[in-house]
Structure 1
Amino acid sequence: MNRLTTSWGDYALARFPEDPRDRLRAWDAADEYLLRHLQEAPLPGRGTVVVVGDRWGALVTSLARHRPGQVVQITDSYLAREATRANLARTGLDEKSVRLLTTRDTPPERVDVLLVRVPKSLALLEDQLHRLAPAVHAGTLVAGTGMVKEIHTSTLALFERIIGPTRTSLAVRKARLIHTTPDPALPRTPSPWPHRYALPGDAPAAVAGRTVVNHAGIFCADRLDIGTRFFLQHLPRGLGGSRVVDLGCGNGVVGLAVALTDPGAQLLFTDESYQAVASAEETFRAGAAPGAEAEFLVGDGLTGVPAGSVDLVLNNPPFHSHQATTDLTARRMFSGARRALRSGGELWVVGNRHLGYHVTLRRVFGNCEVVASDPKFVILRAVRT
């Protein structure tokens, strides 16, 4: 845990879930730059302040103390939402002091201050700006923030096309601000998301030709990525009535393949992204057999899934947390899978060969074997003993 100092106060902040091995802070130079700007060029005296994409609640926590009851958070991340709750509590505030919304919720009807932490996904930014544009008016203060490597010409073009004339600040500690002047004359067009496409005819595991639904922000929005394709070629068969989890499900193609090849399997799709779980559910509804059922859960890995209740976990873990490269998420997923699996249950993992997941799996499970590999990817199997 670290302390963020601003002219509005001093805040103890942490990422979620808290882990003593996590050396990354709950804010960065981009968050600090935006907060300084808001303190030097004061916010309007009253009105709704919408904060989009606050990664661990640093912006919302700072603003909630300054503007109690007027701040709305919009996030696609369950972990960011829980971090915000915890960080608010450390400052003596509760979640009633802000309004916590997800990217799947209806945004406020009027936005007087719009603050955007630029996401890694340009598609997610596009979707959110389209959804918020009708609530923005001529007097709305619009400001974005991000590290220099996160703000591109395409980023600025989205603000300009959807909200109004846009310029950037000078870089400070490798961070920039985005300043946009709302133009009420711009046409308010609907978001082009979600994106739908048919899987190619040579796709493996019975999913060929099935429709995939990708809400904004989901990896590989217009094609089957090569890691998933490789995984689909080697999925276990003969699962019968097994309880199977697609962990970190993304658009749900892996779980859909299980539903088609083993229709008796009991499926759970889970991800920390609200957009991902919505995508997985729509992909499943579009591609599974009529009457097929599955569960869909937004959450922190397998937290909340009863211990010893799962037969098989399928996982393609992320190795980035926003711009930081880390294996912390994968380690948590593996540990959570071990707890949820019954004795004899299996975790199957696909990943880039260079990530060395076999070392972590042997540490967590005490065993690991290679199911399949090619020059880029490896599929690993670990058994809960």
Structure 2
Amino acid sequence: MSSPTPFPFDRLSRRPDVEGPDLVASDAADRLILDESAGLRADAPTGSIVAIGDTHGALALAAAHDGARDVRVHQDALAGERAISRNAEELGLSDRIRVVGLDADAVSDARVVLLRLPRALDALRDVAALVAAHASPDVVVVAGGRLKHMTLAMNDVLGEHFGRIDVSHARQKSRVLFARDPRAGHEPAPAAGREGDLEIRAFGGAFAGARLDNGTRLLIAHLPEDPAGGSPEDPLIDMACGTGAVAAHLATRHPAAYVYASDQSAAAVASARATAAANGVEGRVEVARDDLLAGRPAASASFIALNPPFHSGAALTERLAFRLFADAARVLRPGGELWCVWNSGMRYRGDLERLVGPTRQVARDAKFTVTVSTRR
């Protein structure tokens, strides 16, 4: 049964995720998914509604506001996951939603899946396969996004695991796909790649997939021969580790070193653990899902490597990198070094000087710059 009062989208916040005038907690695609799924949700039994890719809770919380209970919700980014919990508390809906990982239990016996379409087709393929394997046979996936980020290939990917795909009319530059009749479901498995002696593993949605992106390749080629640190108390750190390629490289290149890798993405963390295992270094590589380096004490690290992201969802923003630089500075001990690669057009050198310390260029190619900043 729907609530007599409209859901207060304007009360949703991105916090503690990065905020800004161009970054929103909900948009027209969320509203279209909710409108197109209203009848399905009204008929869904308790505990059978799941929201996936729900960046800050608009889908799950609106469903709960409309009367649904035990709504399962998954968001890959830890900051977004925490924003969902915070928004639920602010709206008095905490007892109606349940934050879950992306696994079989998340979609078991689901009847309605509200999905924000991921931009990466591999991420969509993982979700579709998992839902098809574990949801109810009469599940309907209501998958929506902004038209500028949708492609016909998304229909094809959903068609690999569902027998019927329908398409809504567009509204406010958004559209919804309906997937029914699940088939050929299976557990997601990481893609495998190799660069030189380095094995790379990547679950859907992990940045760059099972290969080295050009920035990471340049960074790895210019990392120091003998970095300071590497003990269990002062490990070499791969910050915002993605698939863990840098962490695995450090552990294989320095066989006595311990490495700590962190990322706020659940898909990245799973990928980095798989990459460490594929290279036989899982015993010396700890991988944590964390916002920045919150789990590391201040002034405790001698070496951090970083390839900072510059997208929050589909939006381009420098704010993510600034947060990463500032927390790297917090964790570095005086004299510790931040080795960073960045798109040269971002012009981060002045920010690194301001937030970390003296910064020098180590390498540069047509697109990327590698710098080392020494903590004051």
Aligned counterpart, 1:369: 360
Secondary structure in 1 matching 2:373: strand
Deviations 1:96-148 (A, max 9, x none): 42121122564332011111110111111101110111333453332111000
Which of 238, 247, 255 is residue 247 of structure 2 equivalent to? 255
For the residues of structure 2 that align with 1:131 and 1:40, how far apart are their CA atoms? 24
For the residues of structure 2 that align with 1:98 and 1:198, how far apart are their CA atoms? 40
Secondary structure in 2 matching 1:102: coil
Which residue identity does 2:138 align to in structure 1? G
Aligned counterpart, 2:140: 141
For the residues of structure 2 that align with 1:196 and 1:342, how far apart are their CA atoms? 36
Q: CA deviation at 1:219?
A: 2.3
> TM-score, structure 1 length as denominator?
0.89
Aligned counterpart, 2:264: 272
Instruction: Work out whether residues 240 and 262 of structure 1, in 8 Å CA contact, stay in contact via their aligned partners in 2.
Output: no
Secondary structure in 1 matching 2:128: helix
Which residue identity does 2:92 align to in structure 1? G
Structure 2 counterparts to residues 146-225 of structure 1, below 5 A: 146-180=145-179, 182-183=180-181, 186=183, 188-191=184-187, 193-199=189-195, 208-225=196-213
Deviations 1:134-168 (A, max 9, x none): 33345333211100022211101122221231122
For the residues of structure 1 that align with 2:191 and 2:86, how far apart are their CA atoms? 34
For the residues of structure 2 that align with 1:262 and 1:209, how far apart are their CA atoms? 14
For the residues of structure 2 that align with 1:265 and 1:106, how far apart are their CA atoms? 37
Aligned counterpart, 2:351: 360
Instruction: Work out whether residues 22 and 328 of structure 1, in 8 Å CA contact, stay in contact via their aligned partners in 2.
Output: no
Instruction: Work out whether residues 7 and 39 of structure 1, in 8 Å CA contact, stay in contact via their aligned partners in 2.
Output: no
Aligned counterpart, 2:123: 124
Secondary structure in 2 matching 1:43: helix
Confirm or deny that 1:327 pairs with 2:315: no
Which of 240, 246, 249 is residue 238 of structure 2 equivalent to? 246
Secondary structure in 1 matching 2:273: helix
State, as a whole percentage, how many aligned pairs show the same letter: 30
Q: 1:260 to 1:161 in 2, by over 3 A?
A: closer
Q: CA deviation at 1:366?
A: 4.2
Deviations 1:329-348 (A, max 9, x none): 11110011011111111111
Q: 1:316 to 1:300 in 2, by over 3 A?
A: same
For the residues of structure 1 that align with 2:4 and 2:256, how far apart are their CA atoms? 56
For the residues of structure 1 that align with 2:269 and 2:242, how far apart are their CA atoms? 7
Which residue identity does 1:346 align to in structure 2? E
Structure 2 counterparts to residues 34-113 of structure 1, below 5 A: 34-39=33-38, 43-47=42-46, 48-94=48-94, 96-104=95-103, 106-113=105-112
Secondary structure in 1 matching 2:327: helix
Secondary structure in 2 matching 1:284: helix
Confirm or deny that 1:10 pairs with 2:8: yes
Secondary structure in 1 matching 2:141: strand
Aligned counterpart, 2:335: 344
Which residue identity does 1:313 align to in structure 2? I
Confirm or deny that 1:300 pairs with 2:291: yes
For the residues of structure 2 that align with 1:178 and 1:334, how far apart are their CA atoms? 39
Structure 1 unaligned runs (5+)? 200-207
Which of 150-159 and 39-48 deviates more?
39-48
For the residues of structure 2 that align with 1:358 and 1:104, how far apart are their CA atoms? 40
For the residues of structure 2 that align with 1:126 and 1:179, how far apart are their CA atoms? 15
Instruction: Work out whether residues 197 and 212 of structure 1, in 8 Å CA contact, stay in contact via their aligned partners in 2.
Output: yes
Secondary structure in 2 matching 1:237: coil
Instruction: Work out whether residues 196 and 214 of structure 1, in 8 Å CA contact, stay in contact via their aligned partners in 2.
Output: yes
> TM-score, structure 2 length as denominator?
0.91
Aligned counterpart, 1:236: 224
For the residues of structure 2 that align with 1:9 and 1:44, how far apart are their CA atoms? 19
Which of 147-156 and 164-173 deviates more?
164-173
For the residues of structure 2 that align with 1:311 and 1:223, how far apart are their CA atoms? 28
Which residue identity does 1:60 align to in structure 2? A
Secondary structure in 1 matching 2:34: helix
For the residues of structure 2 that align with 1:288 and 1:240, how far apart are their CA atoms? 23
Aligned counterpart, 2:309: 318
Aligned counterpart, 2:373: 382
Considering only aligned residues, what root-mean-square deviation do their CA atoms show, in Å? 2.3
Aligned counterpart, 1:204: none
For the residues of structure 2 that align with 1:216 and 1:19, how far apart are their CA atoms? 23
Which residue identity does 1:353 align to in structure 2? S
Q: 1:355 to 1:101 in 2, by over 3 A?
A: same
Instruction: Work out whether residues 37 and 142 of structure 2, in 8 Å CA contact, stay in contact via their aligned partners in 1.
Output: no
Instruction: Work out whether residues 237 and 262 of structure 1, in 8 Å CA contact, stay in contact via their aligned partners in 2.
Output: no
Secondary structure in 2 matching 1:345: strand
